[in-house]
Amino acid sequence: MNRYCLTVTCPTRRGIVAAISTFLAKHDCMITDSAQFDDQATGRFFMRVSFTPEEGADLDTLREGFEAVARLLEMGWAFHDEACKMKVVIMVSRFGHCLNDLLYRVRIGALPVEVVAVISNHMDYQKAVVNADIPFHCIKVTPDNKPEAEAAIMRVVEETGAELVVLARYMQILSDQMCRVMSGRIINIHHSFLPSFKGANPYKQAFERGVKLIGATSHYVTADLDEGPIIEQDIVRVTHAQSASDYVSLGRDVEAQVLARAIHAHAHHRVFLNGNKTVVFPASPGSFSSERMG
């Protein structure tokens, strides 16, 4: 049986949940999971509903029928087929732990995405990527060719039909224009617990401040460096006995896990932009299950 989900954002008002559940019931759809949040500070309402059409209603029929409901309640909305894997382009430089972790998770079915290309400004991971039957593009970036390099990157994104770009420790700053064009469609992993220690060498910054916790932050990319809406974060404890290089090593596992969780949430349509913040709903039952364990 098909499994779909509906995502909704709209101004807060009475009757939203009733309107959605009534519509789905009239189309013989069984709700299997639902999450909602009413942000009283902004007056915005957010909802995600997973459901199965028991009488075979297709997405086109549901979309056509839902337009009147959405118009009445001023909704931003979308229906999604949960069986469809999101197309993703991964970008990486010379630190490969996040890339390798993502490729493994995709291979065992733990992430509902299809990696349609890997882009790097170095050749370090060409063999690993090609061996995984994924197209590899080496696009060198220098101060003199940055516009041309970004144009080449965007061609890969457009030609592959990628819905999401993942910066898996890609150590180049994207232009303001690319950030605007791809707003809400680029996820970065920052090797620090933002908003502290932005920019370069955050582990060195943390070491010099003698912190007792280091972490990683996955966020949407904006023109403001390391200040995009945060999707996922986690930490690991350190002591005075660790060195700056220990921080780097300890941080690798946290970075990989945080980035994977952020992509999982985005690919399952659980993340909603809410100004400079995000609303991230819990995962639906069964969404973490893998096809195999190796």
Give all strands (DSSP E) within 105-149, no chain letters.
113-120, 136-138
**Residue 135, Cα to own-chain centre: how many angstroms?**
21
Q: How far is 82 from 59, CA to CA, in rounded Å?
A: 11
Q: How far is 218 from 215, CA to CA, in rounded Å?
A: 10
Active site residue 234: no
State which amino acid sits at residue 230. I
Q: How far is 32 from 97, CA to CA, in rounded Å?
A: 36
Active-site residue identified among 81, 144, 224, 226: 226
The phi, psi pair for 247, rounded to 5°, reads -55, -45
CA proximity to 205, closest of 93, 253, 215: 215
Whether residue 171 contacts residue 196, with contact meaning beta carbons closer than 8 Å, is answered with no
The phi, psi pair for 81, rounded to 5°, reads -90, 115
Q: How far is 25 from 244, CA to CA, in rounded Å?
A: 57
Q: How far is 147 from 283, CA to CA, in rounded Å?
A: 38
Whether residue 36 contacts residue 45, with contact meaning beta carbons closer than 8 Å, is answered with yes
Q: How far is 269 from 21, CA to CA, in rounded Å?
A: 19
Q: How far is 46 from 221, CA to CA, in rounded Å?
A: 22
Burial class (CB in 10 A: 0-12, 13-18, 19+), 32: middle
Catalytic residue positions? Answer: 226
